Amino acid sequence: MKPGALLLDLDGTIFQGHTLIPGVLETLLFLQNAQIPYRFITNATRMTNKKLVLMMEDMGISVSSDDIFAAPHAAAIYCQNRGYKKILLAVPDREMEEDFSNFQLVDCDPDAIVLGDMGAGFTFNLINDLFNHILGGAELVAMHKNRFWKSANGYMLDVGAFVSALEYASGRTASVMGKPNSNLFVLARREWNLPAEKILMVGDDIEGDVGGALNAGMKSVLVKTGKFRAETLRSSDIKPSYIIDSIADLPSIIDLD
């Protein structure tokens, strides 16, 4: 298959912690030489696009903020389209407030709660405070609903576990912005003017990356790095178009003829 363009997951696919997955630079050079456009798509909510750019540059990948489409961007677009004015932004990096500069950021009586992965900041008091705002009428806008992720220190609970707790307690369903929601994929590809089936999504998450690509009508590649678990693949009803050991093997499935 020769795709018209690629969407590439970051954490677990391009890098693990602050270390590049072996073969990444060679694969990106292959895509550049083949004139196949690509863009990075991520559910990352612990740092801004600017910090992601700096981190990737430190690892040897030259990118701009426009090369990365993240869940916070989709959340801002969603809230704007809904006509919300007052936002309670629950994220660990306060610099992310720049992405929501068109809103009034509040702690009381919000129109919506925009929730990212707070990590150790997910205390009882925080969850209970958000719960009460939801009961008061605020919409819960989850940047994504990943169950867990793999850090340099092992597997970690992700924001999805806490979103589910808030949904269960309040009886109200969150609006999810990131992968596997098709909205993130549609927004990320809109500048290419290509049909969805011409775009290949590459990632390590069978639900978020592969399932999200399926939701968006795209083909997918599952890599066996990052959070990949063989038992999860065996038990899942989601089937990737291709399975490869790592991003280094991506050129082997791309037909340039």
Length of the chain: 257
What pLDDT does residue 257 have?
A: 61
What pLDDT does residue 30 have?
A: 95
Measured N-to-C along each axis, helices 182-189 and 71-81 cross at an angle, to the nearest 10 degrees, of 100
Half-sphere exposure of 106 (CA within 13 A, CB side): 14
What pLDDT does residue 70 have?
A: 87
222-229 mean pLDDT = 94
Structural domain boundaries in the chain: 5-43+179-253, 72-176
- Maximum alpha-carbon separation in the chain: 58
How does residue 174 score in pLDDT terms, banded at 50, 70 and 90? very high
Q: Could you report the per-residue pLDDT of 65-94, keeping only the tens digit for each?
A: 889 988 888 899 899 999 999 999 999 888
Residue 13 reports pLDDT greater than 70: yes
Measured N-to-C along each axis, helices 159-170 and 124-135 cross at an angle, to the nearest 10 degrees, of 40
- Report H helices in 59-118: 71-81
Residue 106 reports pLDDT greater than 80: yes
Fold of 72-176: Rossmann fold (3.40.50)
How does residue 107 score in pLDDT terms, banded at 50, 70 and 90? very high
User: Do 5-43+179-253 and 72-176 come out as alike in CATH topology?
Assistant: yes
What pLDDT does residue 65 have?
A: 85
Say what the alpha-carbon torsion angle 12, 45, 6, 241 is, to the nearest 10 degrees: 60
Residue 256 reports pLDDT greater than 90: no
DSSP state of 190: T
189-214 mean pLDDT = 93
Average pLDDT across the chain, whole number: 92
How does residue 151 score in pLDDT terms, banded at 50, 70 and 90? confident
What pLDDT does residue 2 have?
A: 85
In contact, 148 and 227? CB cutoff 8 Å:
yes
In contact, 63 and 25? CB cutoff 8 Å:
no
Q: Is the alpha carbon torsion for 125, 131, 135, 136 positive or negative? A: positive
Domain 5-43+179-253 has CATH 3.30.70.100: no
Closest CA to 51 of 70, 38, 37: 70
In contact, 121 and 92? CB cutoff 8 Å:
yes
Residue 164 reports pLDDT greater than 80: yes
5-26 mean pLDDT = 94
Share of the chain above pLDDT 90, in %: 68
Q: How far is CA 192 from CA 10, 140, 196, 198, in A?
A: 20, 31, 10, 10
Write the Ramachandran bin of 3: left for phi over 0, alpha for psi from -120 to 50, otherwise beta: beta
